[in-house]
């Protein structure tokens, strides 16, 4: 029988650094909740708002798969591998930190805030060679279907990571229903509502709510309003 | 009487990341960190000081072997995988590790 866990938007840890306002679904930084450390291999889900001209100075990462999805605005990225790029709403960025990298991320505009989701997934292999990639996503132009934006397979749609994980994103009109079939046994799905409302197995979810579901092969999602939704399928045993 | 500091051994090959990790840990007045950038350095330090917790970072060729050696030397030591990321996960990793030893 399917198991689930509900994380309401207001229950997330909040951080306000002036230039950065963040909501942490799981324990992060100075926010520590021993009941909310991770969902399977999904370790970090931060909902960040970065003021114009500000950002994260140079800082290290290692042995983590790091995914950034801008929801509005632009983010400038520069790293120790020599990559320098801007990612915008409509794109996804991935870094495999592996043996270690340094990078910085700044709002590329001086006067427009950037809103982004920062997602960290435990890798299935430690000490890999660091890598960076980004690609465009087009779910807003193709409503009512899920778009795969991440997988374990370099030749598959979207970006890829060192983990048996699949991410899908979609915009659905009010009243639409869709069934999501999990890709791998032993995986669970963490559902994050970017905007709007949905119902999953009788559970209503609203903007920025999170809902983890596992021990199931599939589940049905019904849009109770026009909705944008992110599904993160990850292994539950790490 | 001053409270005894929690002694933490951070192990990782990356020089710059190690500097950041040590700085972040030592910013907590109750924690004291030492760094080792190889298995040999880690074992040597571990024999000379009673660490409460070991953070295993990136770049050590055989982490499992090192973990086994440390636990052979002191069966009650807690070795925690460290995942970098500046201060993002560090506090949580240390708190979880110390909780296993019932030091907090």
Give B5-48 pLDDT, tens digit per residue.
999 999 998 888 898 899 999 999 999 999 999 999 999 999 99
Tokens of A175: 């009243």
Segment A194-213 shows an average pLDDT of 97
Domain assignments of chain B as residue spans, ordered by start: 6-100
Q: Which residues on adjacent β-strands are paired with residue A147?
A: A169
Q: What is the DSSP letter of B12?
A: -
- Using the Cβ of A60 and the Cβ atoms of chain B, whether some distance falls under 8 Å is answered with yes
Closest CA–CA distance from residue A219 to any residue of chain B (Å): 32
Best of B83, B94, B98 to disrupt the A interface by mutation (most A CBs within 10 Å)? B83
Position A21 pLDDT exceeds 90: yes
A100 with B99: Cβ contact below 8 A: no
pLDDT score of B83:
82
- Separation in Å, CA A217 to CA A4, A109, A158, A177, B48: 13, 43, 23, 17, 52
Q: Which of A35, A126, A128, A238 to mutate to test the interface with B (most CBs of B within 10 A)?
A: A126
Q: Would you say the ipTM is above 0.85?
A: no
Is B58 within 8 Å of A126 when comparing Cβ atoms? Answer: yes
Q: What is the mean pLDDT of residues A217-221?
A: 97
In this predicted structure, what is the pLDDT of residue A158? 97
Judge: B20–A120 Cβ closer than 8 Å, yes or no.
no
Buried-exposed string A214-224: b where 16+ CB fall within 10 A, e elsewhere? bebeebebbbe
pLDDT tens-digit map of B37-89: 999 999 999 999 999 999 998 888 888 899 999 999 998 889 998 887 667 88
Which residues of chain A are within 8 Å of residue B84 when distances are taken between CB atoms? 60-64, 97, 100
Prediction pTM value: 0.92
How far away is chain B from the Cα of A135, in angstroms, using its nearest Cα? 23
Q: Which architecture does CATH list for B6-100?
A: 3-Layer(aba) Sandwich (3.40)
Contact yes or no for A64 and B12 at CB 8 A: no
* Nearest CA-CA distance, residue B81 and chain A, Å: 9
User: Residue B59 has what pLDDT?
Assistant: 84
- Give the pLDDT of residue B55: 93
Query: How sure is the predictor about B2, in pLDDT bands with cuts at 50, 70 and 90?
Result: low
Q: Which residues of B touch A102 (CB under 8 A)?
A: 16-17
Flag whether pLDDT at B102 surpasses 80: no
A147-235 in CATH: which number? 2.60.120.10
Question: Tell me: the pLDDT tens digits for A138-172?
Answer: 999 999 999 999 999 999 999 999 999 999 999 99
Nearest to B84 among A27, A30, A61 (CB): A61
Distance CA A186, CA B9 (A): 34
* Nearest-by-Cβ selection for A29 from B16, B88, B95: B88
Q: What are the extents of the domains in chain A?
A: 12-136, 147-235
Residue range A49-78, pLDDT digits in tens = 999 999 998 888 889 999 999 999 999 999
Looking at chain A, the whole-number percentage of residues with pLDDT higher than 90 is 89
CB A223 within 8 A of CB A193: no
Residue A87 has pLDDT above 70, yes or no: yes
Counting residues of chain A whose pLDDT is more than 70, the rounded percentage is 100
CATH class entry, domain A12-136: mainly beta
Please report the pLDDT score of residue A30 as a whole number: 86
Interface contact flag, A62 B84, Cβ < 8 Å: yes
Above 80 in pLDDT, residue A178?
Answer: yes
Contact of A61 with chain B, judged by CB distance below 8 Å, is answered with: yes
Label residue B1 by pLDDT band (50, 70, 90): low
Cβ-nearest to A99 among B58, B82, B96 = B58
What residues in A contact B56, CB-CB < 8 Å?
none
Residues 6 or more apart in contact with residue A6 via CB below 8 angstroms = A203, A205, A209, A210, A211
Q: Are A64 and B85 in contact (CB < 8 Å)?
A: yes
- What mean pLDDT do residues A106-129 have? 95
Whole-number mean pLDDT of chain A?
Answer: 95
Please report the residues numbered 179 through 218 in chain A whose beta carbons come closer than 8 angstroms to any beta carbon of chain B.
none
Q: Categorize the per-residue pLDDT at A129 as very low, low, confident or very high, splitting at 50, 70 and 90.
A: very high
């Amino acid at each position: 029988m399917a198991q689930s866990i509900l994380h309401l938007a207001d229950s997330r840890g909040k951080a306000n650094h002036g230039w950065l306002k963040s909501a942490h679904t799981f324990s992060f930084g100075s926010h520590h909740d021993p009941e909310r450390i991770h969902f399977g291999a999904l370790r970090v889900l931060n909902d960040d708002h970065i003021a114009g001209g500000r950002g994260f100075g140079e800082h290290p990462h290692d042995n983590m798969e790091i995914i950034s999805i801008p929801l509005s605005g632009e983010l400038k990225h520069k790293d120790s591998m020599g990559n320098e790029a801007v990612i915008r709403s409509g794109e996804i960025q991935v870094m495999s930190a592996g043996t270690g990298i340094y990078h910085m991320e700044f709002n590329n505009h001086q006067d427009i805030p950037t809103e982004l989701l920062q997602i960290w997934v435990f890798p299935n292999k430690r000490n890999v060679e660091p890598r960076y990639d980004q690609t465009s996503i087009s779910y807003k132009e193709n409503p009512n279907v899920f778009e795969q934006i991440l997988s374990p397979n370099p030749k598959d749609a979207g970006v890829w990571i060192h983990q048996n994980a699949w991410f899908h994103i979609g915009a659905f009109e009010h009243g639409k229903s869709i069934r999501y079939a999990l890709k791998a046994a032993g995986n669970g799905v963490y559902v994050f509502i970017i905007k709007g409302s949905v119902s999953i197995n009788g559970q209503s979810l609203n903007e920025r709510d999170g809902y983890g579901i596992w021990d199931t092969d599939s589940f049905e999602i019904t849009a109770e309003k026009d909705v944008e939704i992110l599904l993160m399928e990850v292994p539950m045993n790490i | 009487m001053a409270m005894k500091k929690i002694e933490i051994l951070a192990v990782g090959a990356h020089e710059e990341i190690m500097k950041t990790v040590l700085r972040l840990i030592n910013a907590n007045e109750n924690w004291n960190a030492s760094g080792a950038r190889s298995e040999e350095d880690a074992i040597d330090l571990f024999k000379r000081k009673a660490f409460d917790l070991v953070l295993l970072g990136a770049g050590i060729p055989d982490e499992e072997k090192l973990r086994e050696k440390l636990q052979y030397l002191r069966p009650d030591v807690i070795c925690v995988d460290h995942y970098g990321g500046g201060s993002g996960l560090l506090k949580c990793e240390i708190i979880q590790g110390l909780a296993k030893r019932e030091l907090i």
